[in-house]
Amino acid sequence: MALDFAITDNAQGATNVPVVKMTIDHTGFVGIGTDSPDANLHVVGAGSGDHLILEGTLGSAATSAPNMVLFRNGDDAAADIDDNDLIGQIVF
């Protein structure tokens, strides 16, 4: 069983048939643009445009860019994540 989030076209004359845009499947995987996600977060987009946007809104434009930080899932609780768990990061 899955939880699907569907939208309809709100344009005048549209058929308004719901189209699934996001799914949470029975394992807890979330799919955006796919109804059969293969990971915790699975994003599928058509074309060559932006598929994922991370936006920081705190501080000045020069210092508010978000960082993407990747950690391994060790035995430590999330509060105990340290440099030994750090896989890598992208700093913008």
Distances (CA, A) of 79 to 41, 85, 87: 22, 12, 17
pLDDT bucket at 74, cuts 50 / 70 / 90: low
Pairing of strands 67-71, 41-43: unpaired
| 3-43: pLDDT as tens digits | 999 998 888 877 788 889 999 999 999 999 999 999 999 99
| 40-53: pLDDT as tens digits | 999 988 878 777 77
Average pLDDT on 47-63 reads: 72
Burial class of residue 23 (count of CB atoms within 10 Å of its CB; 0-12, 13-18, 19+): buried
| 82-92: pLDDT as tens digits | 667 778 888 77
